[in-house]
Structure 1
Amino acid sequence: MNAQRWKDAANGTSAPGGHDIYVDDKGNVSAADRILPETLPANPNPVLKEFFDYYRMPRGFHARSVNSTGAWNATMPLSFMNMPLLSYASEVTIPTLIVTGEQAHSRYFAEDAFKAIGSKEKALVIVPGANHVDLYDNVAGKIPFATFTQFFKTNLQ
């Protein structure tokens, strides 16, 4: 990725890529012109289907959205490689509300973050039956707004 960043700087352009890093057996980082395919393949990975059903369908589609029609900058993940994301989580001492879906592929990170947060006033809300994108909007009626309201009323004064 550093070689790609150098190449991008020399050319004055940015190569497209995903927000995840895929490396082949020779150590080459794969590049892609788009994050999601134009059409959903047969038997897709469940996470691919979840994001496709949101970003490629009217519910979440926008012609200028990177996730709907394009790709991120190929070197974007570099900023996450220099420091583990939860390195300073124990220094967070303000009230913290972390929300995840019971079936979200990202649930593990919410749980890890909750454990790492230093605040005594913290809550982890695991939304029953919700996946990752169910919590983007309230189409499925799963966002626990009453829980949010109570947390904010208790902790924001």
Structure 2
Amino acid sequence: MEMKILASGIGAALPKTSIGFSLFSGVYIQLRRSSSDQPQTFGIASGLEIGGNSGTLIAGHIETAWMKIDTTKHVWLCSRSSLVGKLGEVELKGTLAFSGTIDVNFTIFDANNESTFSLSRIKVESKGGQLADTKIRGVIKDMMGKTQNGRALCAQP
């Protein structure tokens, strides 16, 4: 399985604090079984928000390269019910100017706001730009619509 993240945001947040505001933050999480498959797209968006739940420093846009994911370690990525409607957080750490590497954290929370699933990758090849970390938290939506619900996200190990 492979995963790609596309994130954009406008706002002001102080890194490693919960001080800031976000005018808009959004992220697409794309998953595909292999490089020849059409990706399934999930999204998280937040509008005007005060606090540190979502934000970036001034503005940022990042597109990661496709990351290979071990489905034996992250079987939760194979199920829409593990993703859609759940509170998720994507954090992209590092300064990026045109291209380089960043660190990616993707966490899913349960009804008690405890992390239930998490995926972390460091030194992910990316393009775009950001001055500081970008964090986007919100409810995960299926951007593909109900017509795709019967399709498995990945081949079962």
**Length-normalised TM-score, structure 2:** 0.22
Higher strand share: 2
Structure index of larger Rg: 1
